[in-house]
């Protein structure tokens, strides 16, 4: 049976030894690089330890993650980003120019 790592059940395509990822897993690899808000690696982030790994390790982690956990991490980051942007915008509106 072919490798069906994609959520839709289709076989993965490979390029240079890497499986081509679906968009959700690709987003996870991107989030595993740094915080999308400020480019840091906050210790309160669920990806803090993952970000310390090599790119290959982060790629393999994203490939192995089940869909439920992958979506949970994505939704966490969407909510976190909204909160940080809201806090920043409120702080800007209060500060004198």
Query: Which residue is it, tokens 């790629």?
Result: 59
Over the stretch 3-12, which tens digit does the pLDDT of each residue have? 444 445 555 5
1, part of any domain: no
Q: What is the mean pLDDT of residues 89-94?
A: 89
28, part of any domain: yes
In the chain, DSSP finds a helix count (H) and a strand count (E) of: 3, 2
Over the stretch 61-73, which tens digit does the pLDDT of each residue have? 998 999 999 999 9
5, part of any domain: no
Range of the domain at 38: 14-94
65 vs 73: CA distance, rounded Å: 10
The total number of structural domains in the chain stands at 1
The confidence score (pLDDT) of residue 1 equals: 39
3, part of any domain: no
Over the stretch 23-43, which tens digit does the pLDDT of each residue have? 888 899 999 999 999 999 999
The confidence score (pLDDT) of residue 14 equals: 52
88, part of any domain: yes
The confidence score (pLDDT) of residue 20 equals: 61
Question: Hey, what are 50's tokens?
Answer: 């993952």
The mean pLDDT of the chain is 83
6, part of any domain: no
8 vs 27: CA distance, rounded Å: 16
- For residue 40, the Cα-to-chain-centroid distance in whole angstroms is 14
50 vs 48: CA distance, rounded Å: 6
């Amino acid at each position: 049976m072919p490798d069906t790592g994609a959520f839709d059940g289709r076989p993965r395509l490979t390029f240079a030894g890497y499986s081509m990822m679906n968009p959700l897993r690709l987003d996870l690899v991107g989030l595993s690089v740094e915080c999308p808000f400020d480019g840091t690696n906050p210790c309160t982030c669920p990806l803090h330890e993952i970000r310390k790994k090599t790119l290959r390790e982060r790629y393999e982690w994203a490939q192995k993650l089940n869909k439920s956990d992958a979506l949970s991490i994505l939704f966490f980051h969407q909510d976190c980003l909204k909160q940080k942007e809201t806090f920043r915008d409120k702080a800007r509106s209060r500060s004198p120019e």
